[in-house]
Every structure is written in structure tokens, then in C-alpha cells.
Amino acid sequence: MSRRGFQGAELETAIGSVRLPNPVMTASGTVGHGAELARYLDYSELGAVVVKSLAPYEWPGNSPPRVHPVSAGMINSVGLQGPGLPRWLDEELPALAETGARVVVSIWGRTLEDYAAASEMLGAADGQPMQAVVAAEINVSCPNLEDRGRMFSHSAAMTEAALAATATCGLARWAKLSATGDLVEVAAAAVEGGAEALTLINTLLGMVIDTEARKPLLGGGGGGVSGRAMGPVAVRAVYDVHAALPEVPIIGVGGIASGTDAVEMMMAGARAVQVGTATFADPRAPAKVLRGLARWCAAHGVRRLDEMIGAAHE
């Protein structure tokens, strides 16, 4: 699909300093660390591919079971398992870059020093594959060992500190936040820390009980709930943050499985969207969302995405 999509709709979008040919990306954690889904998706057709979050070291994740279906979605306790940034840069990024993908690398840490170390690794990386990397998504929706295990994104001060710690990465930074009661405050803090854009929202905290065993079903205890059921929560988060911070670009994620879902998120204020859990049921879901978005624009006479971004606020 060209930048103009079906029947001439202009799908190009700008996320701060990053320009993308269209607004549909994969969501971190749902397409692996490299080119795992390249047999199903033409990565070069998507706006960008966001890889599973990486720490500056290899991380084993949680014990099984890790994934369980819930009504209209799933819950996972994978625990950010990953090979670590050094191995990813050497072993996974080259194959991903060869697909023609625009890559967003997601990083996480348990301490501020972890974020700084990951940032320095990215800043020092060079070579042809790195030219495919267009941004770094800073995942602050993980436990902070320096703050009694609270998530970074549940504290405005720690969110700002984590973003500030990644200033050496040499890439545009997007802060991935969770839905909290103080989301607007946390979002503003992320921008103060250096975020060019905000990714809203990460999974919602949840738990499933094994009623026969009388204990949490997942090996990690609780987990993150994702899928269609969280769509309205994500739309509300995007709407509220856009109303408070209208100049800050937002990437909407949560419950998107169709072109119409993407339109709704953009009308709430998002400039781009990410498709996640839908990919587990259909690995071609991001491409289908993109085609559905183009068809919706053509059917409604939308020539440029700017015509509908934030339209629900007018």
C-alpha cells in the first residue's frame, strides 16, 4: 500500500521529529524481538515495528504459566523476558532491518541505572542496521526496585527521572505509560523528562484465580490484561491527555483490531496507533487495520489524517 492508501487518502503522520508513511504500528511484546512475523506481514508497509522491551542485560522473565485467555482479551505474566540489548543489536536487529521495517526499540529497566545503561548502549551502537531504528519507546510500566516495587509510571517524579536517564540514546523518545489516576500529571512529567511523544496505554493490572488450586493461575501471580475489553479505557486515556497536552503527539494502543478502532483512537487525539493482542489471534492484524483505516478514510472523504486527529474534542 502506498502512502496514499486507497483512493488517494494521505496516511502519512508525524510523531514529533519522526515521520512515518502511515500511522499503524505493531505494539511492543506482540511480534517478538526481530522478524518473527515476516512470513505473515510485510513489515515495510507498516508505519513502524515496535519490538518487545529490552533491558541492558538478558532477562529470563516469569515462571509459567505465562498467558491465559480472558473475556475479550488475554492476561499475561511473561515478565519482559528478553535477550538483552547487546544480543539484540548483534543477532536480531540485522534481520529485522533487512525487511525494510522502520524499527522502534523498546527499553526497560528495574532501576534508573538500568535505563541509563540501555540508553548508552543505543547511543554507542552503529552500523547499517541501526539506520532502521527511528525511535526508542521508553517502557516505564515496570516495577521500580528503588521505589518499593512501585511501577515507574505510577509516579510522576520517577517517570521524569527514567526519561531523563535515557537522554544519551541518540533517538527520539516515546514514553509508554500505564493508565493511572494521575495520568495527565505523569504524562506531563514524561515530557519534562524529554519524551517527544507518549504511548498510551500499557496493559491493565489484573489477576486470574485457579479455583481448583485456590491460588493465582499465572506463575507470576498477577499480570497485564490486554485486548478488546480495554479499548474504551485506552480511548479515554488518550482523550484526557490530548485535552490537557494538545501539542504532545500520542500513540494510542489498547483494544485495536479494526480500522474503525484506529479511527476512534485518532479522533480521541492519537496521531498513530499500535496493534497488539489482535496479532495473537491473527498475525496479519496490523496490515488489516491499516487497510481498514484507508477504506474508512476513502468512504468518509478524509484526505489527510490531520482532518480527524482530535476531532472528538471539537
Q: Which residues are catalytic?
A: 142
Per-residue DSSP letters for 197-227?
A: EEEE--PEEE--EETTTTEESBTTBSEEEES
Strands 172-177 and 133-139: parallel
Distance (Å, whole) CA 167 – CA 152: 17
Neighbours of 94 (CB within 10 A): 16
| Closest residue by Cα to residue 96 from 18, 32, 6, 27 | 32
Distance (Å, whole) CA 101 – CA 133: 9
